[in-house]
Chains A and B, each alone.
Chain A
């Protein structure tokens, strides 16, 4: 307990020092950035040597390295080229090629826990739709989804190129909110949207919303984009809306979920996929507007390199240890 209090006290002192003494913001020059990278590499070599000598570093040291790999790149200025993969390009093409006035259904099936991955996708997707004068219908199968949608929408609407358009809720975009029932909601929407969403999130009746005047079911939707972090999500949209009602669907998934979507992608059930934060960054590249995901790519790269380094160190130690053991047994 005493040790805990001491540590928490130290944390408060560090925070106070940061607020009072450290100049803001911190930006490392390229030279300093490479110098820091060099120091991290040296530290990893030190860990490597210790590990092959049989001294595995404690888990808190590994945690520290992960923390460093994630935080320090925020202050660095290193440019990295981002290439757009075919599945991401398909989402962009499918949306950008729609005629102005086309209706796009965007379902938000995630909560704040997945926001760092999916929120940048939502922001750039909304921006793309609004730039191309597409009409957006928002809904969610997760209760937190529509709230995440509102956050993304506010950012997209604040974009200088979109402010000029003077877009209006109910005419250019609408938020239908959340409904429980998972895939049963999608199934019911196949025949009638209104029964599942009698009002939008502002309490306006479905029939009084101009944007929804001609929207009865999926046959009136030109393209749909699903942001998903699990169940219910993309799989349910594919099974019901795509395979049964013929909806054209693209998806943005968390990294954990994305790998399972590739069979659907190959079968043509899914028209494009943004997988994890790298998918979001690639999509930003495709739209030509760099945003949060692109900014996150440097720490993402660093953290991947650190994990790979630790796997390599662990394996090198394992094989050298095995070799030493075999040698000892021979003797």
Chain B
């Protein structure tokens, strides 16, 4: 069965790769299979893990959680979008999702991505940790902490568009854009690494598992 599976997987893998040559029927067939299979995968998994596992078992358990019925009603309202005359009712569960996400994000993002980041940026210059003796800090850490503080500050200055980028402010914004450019460069490097890794994984399958050319 695995041998058949390997051949099926190889056929599909090569079908997708054939797009490099040009858009062709083989690729389109594989693409359609992918769309159908992934939609079906989510459909089945969510039924068992969520509808059955969370809702149904929660409501029918010896200690039933009837409040789950409210969630089920909201979920059903969401599905009513498929019925155009009453599709507007799906706005209610959507409003719930938007409200819950907004409420959660206000706190989460402000706490984790603003307050804690600012706190971490204002690190002591001569030592990486509070309480360490000053002479234990290396020049490496001191320069690093300066770069972090300066880079973050000037980066934020660059994003401040309410004032024209001129004079000292403009100079700071310029350093900010340099920092951000280096950051983008690092991200590009990692993206290349990431994409190549995925290709390596597929090529190992083709040349190893299927063609058995790799030891």
Contacts and interface: CB of A to CB of B under 8 A. Distances in A.
Interface string A243-258: 1100000000011101
B138 interface: no
A19 B193 contact: no
Interface string B197-215: 1111111100110011111
Contacts of A239: 108-109, 111-113
Interface stretch (B42-50, B78-86, B167-175): B42-50
Contact of A18 (B20, B58, B104, B213): B213
A233 to B, nearest CB: 14
Interface in B153-186: 183, 186
Contacts of B193: 255, 276-278, 300, 304
A161 interface: no
Secondary structure at chain A's binding surface: helix, strand, loop or mixed? helix
A22 interface: yes
Given A178-B45, A267-B120, A116 B214 contact: no
Interface residues of B, number: 53
A205 B133 CA distance: 52
Given A266-B148, A277-B197, A303-B199, A24 B213 contact: yes
A7 B50 contact: no
Interface stretch (A49-57, A69-77, A125-133, A152-160): A69-77
A260 B46 CA distance: 30
Contacts of A254: 194
B66 to A, nearest CB: 14
Nearest to B44: A143
A296 B197 contact: yes
A143 B45 CA distance: 7
Interface string A6-25: 01100100010011001011
Contacts of A266: 120, 148
Interface in A300-318: 300, 303-304, 307
Most buried by A among B41, B53, B197: B197
13 contacts: A4-B25, A27-B215, A115-B201, A178-B45, A180-B50, A198-B53, A243-B111, A255-B193, A300-B193, A303-B199, A304-B196, A307-B192, A307-B196
Interface of A: 4, 7-8, 11, 15, 18-19, 22, 24-27, 60, 63, 66-67, 70-71, 74-75, 113-117, 143-144, 177-180, 183-184, 187, 196, 198-199, 238-240, 242-244, 254-256, 258-260, 263-264, 266-269, 275-278, 296, 299-300, 303-304, 307
